[in-house]
Structure 1
């Protein structure tokens, strides 16, 4: 997971804990761990005295571990998640921000090809347009997560990158941010700041916390580096015919847009982007809550969202919100079949794992791997293979 649940998102949704997990650290003695970090920092080219000063002030933060285990918001279904997170007030403020920073957004679109709605949605979800940036000690948070057993492979490099920013005078032990070590208005990790930090307001420094132009330009640069393709869509709401082959849906089934059009898939608002001859664009038909709920075509740019955050429900909501900020209508919610509770989802994942499926962890979260496994079992059982798990499927398994 590239990024964790943003603070503004957790505040809006009211985070519930996930199932209990072993929280014992895997890094051994914390002091010995810091000695290794110091040696790694020196090996990366940081002055030994600076590396020593960097690790000298670090300590574990149990509140960070508690926050890391408290990401049950991702167990919510798409309709619930998006309705709680997207309000008319948040849309209105986003459009006001687009007007206020129009010059910056014009530069971002010209230099990086990222539409303003995409960055506005991240800005809103990550920090509520800069208002909720977090008060965790950034360096302690990174050290805690790098030492912890759950994702050290993600956070150890970020801690060393933070040492580089420390050596440059960009951050210090008083720097604060999100519990997972992200900094600033669009919540960037240290390695991303080193690679993509930009001086958007021209004052000669990169201030991701206090300068919206700096934060937005940096976010645009990062999205381009992650593979954003200019002048292409990311998500388009569609209508689908009743007789569609549901097994052809899902993020693992790309097809040319023209093929989707030939199968009766139509844009709800206007023509399907990339549906003309010679465009070469492919898309996946995304049914977040099955064949009776909202339907979207997800284009290649949609994949970039998963580089920002690997939660399926967060990514889909952020991509949809970006289209709303760009003028798209409210989705057609439809009448989805009832889904599963968190406990039922865990039971389903256990059954899928027992059948040999890799669901990416039994966590009660309907991620893309779980959806793919559900679709396979739906096909096997002769059920509509729309990747939406229901009590009927759980009973059949």
Structure 2
């Protein structure tokens, strides 16, 4: 079950741009204003939010402070309507995001905040590299956290009738943060979808997993690196991270494998892959008994990895396969792993050819989702099935050869 976070964002990165534009509230005719849980008159909507917050035991003065001056932000709505998954390959995206500069900064941060990172691993079982990689990819270690007013963003997305069930609880959690003195509703800024702070977390998660890392009796994930690091660690633990276990491991592969068994959710253990000739580049076979998927972001001729159960945490964080594989790889680099072997992957398809392939697959009753030119999970599965049917190496990487064969 995807987390609210990953249901809200399936983007390549949370680095955001430019300022907020405020506008008048939308109007709808779907329900009387006083009864509406979304849409309608903004004042009536906010009164309903206040009623819900009072029912949660939040004092009226904290609610009034949180909601005073709240406005609909049309720029948030524009971002919400326009969001999409990037179309870069794994090599393109990972080489851009896992830069030497970021690695140098990340290692320096881990050293500078060593006691905080040690505490994160001791208390929550999450290694420094895992946290620091998310920290880098989400906000460049806190440098770019977004400039949307968080309160207005959540009011806007709760008032909008597209997905109010996701955002109204986040708005109520933000009011609770105001009650605790952990957020100034008038000045706090973050991502367009309401994420806050150096690792971009939603208010409900901050309430549930917030840790006061610097001892000031407040949880400020925006300005306090110790608070952000420990809160992220506790949140990652809650997603099921298993202490002392790997998450991803680069491997070399032989020419011939049962490629149809590759892909997320594969049926083998790491040891079974090793027995078939898959070889860890670091030589570590200590986790041979764990379930392991052979993942081939650009087919069997490109970079190759096996993922372990802890990789599922990355998919909870963000559902984009390219983002999650890059973030997992980034974490291993911060922990000392070498640069991956780029290999020599087959040429992929351009946007028009990918859409043509998806159309063909859709006509063959494969569920590829929206025909959008994006190599999502549905398209990868369909490609793999057709490759197997046609006697090709079923590695899930779409090529011109496959398109022509179809």
TM-score (norm 2): 0.87
**2:344 matches 1:335:** yes
**2:172 matches 1:160:** yes
Give the Å deviation of 1:220: 0.3
Q: For this pair of structures, how many residues does the alignment match?
A: 382
Counterpart residue number, 1:18: none
Alignment check: 8 A CA contact 1:7 1:134 kept: no
Q: Deviations for 1:197-219, whole angstroms, at most 9, x for unmatched residues?
A: 10111122111111111100000
Counterpart residue number, 1:367: 376
Give the Å deviation of 1:170: 2.1
5 Å-filtered alignment, 1:100-249, equals: 100-148=112-160, 150-171=162-183, 172-249=185-262
| 2:169 aligned counterpart, secondary structure | helix
Question: 5+ residue gaps in structure 1?
Answer: 12-23
Alignment check: 8 A CA contact 2:12 2:320 kept: no
1:377 and 1:207 mapped to 2: Cα distance? 50
**2:334 matches 1:325:** yes
Give the Å deviation of 1:29: 2.2
1:354 and 1:147 mapped to 2: Cα distance? 38
Q: Deviations for 1:241-279, whole angstroms, at most 9, x for unmatched residues?
A: 11111101000213111111111011012223412xxxx
5 Å-filtered alignment, 1:1-397, equals: 1-2=6-7, 4=9, 5=11, 9=15, 27-29=38-40, 31=42, 32-48=44-60, 50-72=62-84, 74-148=86-160, 150-171=162-183, 172-275=185-288, 280-397=289-406
1:346 and 1:152 mapped to 2: Cα distance? 32
1:352 and 1:148 mapped to 2: Cα distance? 35
364 and 157 in structure 1: CA distance in 2 versus 1, 3 angstrom threshold: farther
364 and 142 in structure 1: CA distance in 2 versus 1, 3 angstrom threshold: farther
Give the Å deviation of 1:291: 0.9
1:34 and 1:65 mapped to 2: Cα distance? 18
Q: Which moved more, 1:24-33 or 1:59-68?
A: 24-33
Q: Which moved more, 1:297-306 or 1:202-211?
A: 202-211
Q: Which moved more, 1:34-43 or 1:99-108?
A: 34-43
208 and 10 in structure 1: CA distance in 2 versus 1, 3 angstrom threshold: closer
TM-score (norm 1): 0.89
Give the Å deviation of 1:384: 1.8
Question: 5+ residue gaps in structure 2?
Answer: 1-5, 18-26, 31-37
48 and 395 in structure 1: CA distance in 2 versus 1, 3 angstrom threshold: farther
Give the Å deviation of 1:49: 5.4
Alignment check: 8 A CA contact 1:2 1:308 kept: no
| 1:300 aligned counterpart, secondary structure | coil
1:375 and 1:245 mapped to 2: Cα distance? 12
Counterpart residue number, 1:16: none
Alignment check: 8 A CA contact 2:12 2:85 kept: no
